[in-house]
Amino acid sequence: MTKFKLSILAVAAVVFLAACSTNTGTDSSEAADNRPLIATTVAPITSIAASIAGDRARIEGIVPEGTNSHTFEPSPQIAKLLSDADLILVNGLKLEDPTMKMAESNKKETTEIVEIGTLVLPESDYLYDFSFPKEEGKPNPHLWTDPSYAIKYAGVIRDQLSELDPENADYYAGNFTNFEKLATELSDALTADQESVPAGNLKLLTYHDAYAYFAKNYGWTVIGAIQPNDFADPSASEVAKLIDQVKAENVTTIFGSEVFPSAVLEEVGRATGARYEDTLRDDDLPGAPGDAEHSWLGLMKYNYRTMISGLGGTPTQLDAIVLTPTSSNSVVYPQ
């Protein structure tokens, strides 16, 4: 056999081995992709779903962090995710109407859209306010800022994953138990630390009213929110009323959003002498994906300790909570 023929055979062997290697990799990837694909919307829901799913399901978020989830319009690329998803988890309560519309148009016939908030909140418990007036027909949808509702969200997700993937039902149940334990520890720490806030100071004036259910259940008072239901700046007369209210109620700190700077809140702070704390996060998880604090637990620990400190308390018990990564690295958070 000539050297030329040997070279041809050698090249053919390399090509054959490379093809085998490529096929093996593809098969492995496809095997991993046999896990259920779960599409979620806002980052807190994505985090809770990932905590329950662990490594047995793929979780992919839709709404980028730091985005106004009320006005978010999904891009055409999201239609592909929704058409591939085996389960679609949304908050409901009219939070994600454009995403819901796209999901209904593109999902597989067998795929269920689960409105978690709508399931766990009886209509008799709907809250309406400045940002969510009753005449508009959209209740305040921000249940996840209250640990008791976050636990209920996790329970719905556990049940849905168990129905979709019954072989791993015990695994999902175990992850739920762990999440429930951590959320309860957070709630207990908050309850203890809010006792350190001077009497009469548990009052919230925020950029966006994301704490209505939390305030009701933990004995806080929401005195107002800057962002009205149409997401425009409030009128001069509305701002004047807020200034008068802050002065009358001796509010010590007002809370803005770290992703939505508010000149109005700055003005209210200057006019009243209240401190303007501009780092509160409604649904933008701290840190980066993969970090321990980049989770629902990390989000709420940060927000609670920020509010407790801002209102004159000491978040000792909250600071003692240790954050550890609890969800699969395969979870996708759009940034």
pLDDT digits (tens, 9 = 90+) for 236-284: 888 898 899 999 999 999 999 887 788 888 999 999 999 999 999 888 9
Tokens found for residue 117: 């908030």
First and final CA of the chain: distance in angstroms?
59
Query: What pLDDT sits at residue 2?
Result: 45
Q: What is the rounded CA–CA span in Å between residue 216 and residue 235?
A: 27
Q: Are 154 and 179 in contact (CB under 8 A)?
A: yes
9 pLDDT tier (thresholds 50, 70, 90): very low
| Mean of pLDDT values over 305-313 | 97
Domain containing residue 86:
35-189
- C-alpha dist (Å) from residue 109 to 40, 78, 83, 124: 18, 17, 9, 32
In a shared domain, residues 277 and 227: yes
Q: Indicate whether 23 belongs to any domain.
A: no
Query: What pLDDT sits at residue 327?
Result: 64
Q: Indicate whether 14 belongs to any domain.
A: no
Q: What is the rounded CA–CA span in Å between residue 170 and residue 282?
A: 32
In a shared domain, residues 164 and 42: yes
In a shared domain, residues 45 and 175: yes
In a shared domain, residues 256 and 280: yes
In a shared domain, residues 58 and 177: yes
pTM score, two decimals? 0.88
> Total structural domains in the chain?
2
* pLDDT at position 4 over 70: no
Q: What is the rounded CA–CA span in Å between residue 295 and residue 307?
A: 18
In a shared domain, residues 153 and 136: yes
Query: What pLDDT sits at residue 23?
Result: 45
